[in-house]
Structure 1
Amino acid sequence: MEWNTDSSLGVSTIMERVSTILDEHDMCVLGTVGAQEPRLTPCFFAPLDEHRLVFVSSRGSRHVAHMRADPHCSALVLPEQREQGRLVSLLLAGEVTCPQGRSRLSALTSYMARMLSRLPSAASSMHGLLDKKVFVLDAESIELVDTRLCRGTMRVGRRPRG
């Protein structure tokens, strides 16, 4: 699968900015849908390759139950607005999977490495992560708003190769 866009900016320019935002931030608002209602939950994340995000959550949380019932979700990253009048937001949407075995360990390792460098208290909770639920969001579409680059929303999506 490769990324495509109908934006006047090229895919590589957009994806470079997406990577920068994901590298610089570790909090998002996770959007899930349950049988009764949608849910927005602030979550820490760590970026993985190919614009995937790893989340670690308590097994009994409502958003985990939602993701088990419906794997479609979204993650909204809102960087701090440092420049007056400049809007920046990043929305990744797709499906989550629950990695198992080595994939789970790899995702947890990426998450822990990210959290150790950003949250000193994370070291004390490292063993507690083994009891948590691990999810990986594989983005199928990305919407970027960055008024320094372009007016309006820049959208990219995946399409099969060939």
Structure 2
Amino acid sequence: METTAHNSIDERIVRFIGRHHVLTLATSDDEGLWCSNLFYAYDKTEGRFLFSSGDDTRHARQMRANPHIAASVVLETRLVGRVQGLQIAGTAEPADDAGRRIYLKRFPYAAVMELQLWQLRPSQLKLTDNTLGFGKKLIWKRL
């Protein structure tokens, strides 16, 4: 297990994030826990995930009530030696105009939609990557 505790995220984690486009978001409030699958764009400069979610969704209501969230991105495979998955902990908040530009660059068709963009600012990332060795984990924590 390699742990990095500084602002620079291991490039292997960044490459994994860039090869995917759907994350599973986990939110909670007094109603309980909820999971949602969402398209995301990754802002490498700011180290944040950008995603769209309407205000009327359960997970948006929960993010407003409790901004502490978790997420995961996974490579689906039946081959044990190819297993890769990213676990994320962080906070959610509405995204800014720069985030909107990044999201629309990745998903230009979303320009015709009424977007309510959010950002996930990670406080911790953990990539399990069996291509680096069985059970190999790369961990990053925000200082």
TM over 0.5: yes
Matched position secondary structure for 1:25: coil
Which residue of structure 2 aligns with residue 128 of structure 1? Answer: 113
Q: How many residues align?
A: 139
Which residue of structure 2 aligns with residue 114 of structure 1? Answer: 106
Q: Give TM-score, length-normalised by structure 1.
A: 0.76
Matched position secondary structure for 1:108: helix
1:49-88 matches, within 5 Å, as 49-81=45-77, 84-86=79-81, 87-88=83-84
Q: 2:47 & 2:23 partners in 1: Cα distance?
A: 14
Structure 2 unaligned blocks of 5 or more: none
Whichever of the two has the greater Rg, that structure is 1
1:27-38 matches, within 5 Å, as 27-38=22-33
Structure 1 unaligned blocks of 5 or more: 1-6, 117-121
Whether the 8 Å CA contact 2:89–2:124 is kept in 1: the answer is yes
1:51 shift after superposition? 2.4
% identical aligned pairs: 24
Q: 1:38 & 1:62 partners in 2: Cα distance?
A: 10
Q: 1:105 & 1:10 partners in 2: Cα distance?
A: 30
Q: Give TM-score, length-normalised by structure 2.
A: 0.85
Name the aligned partner's letter for residue 112 of structure 2.
H
Greater per-residue helix proportion: 1
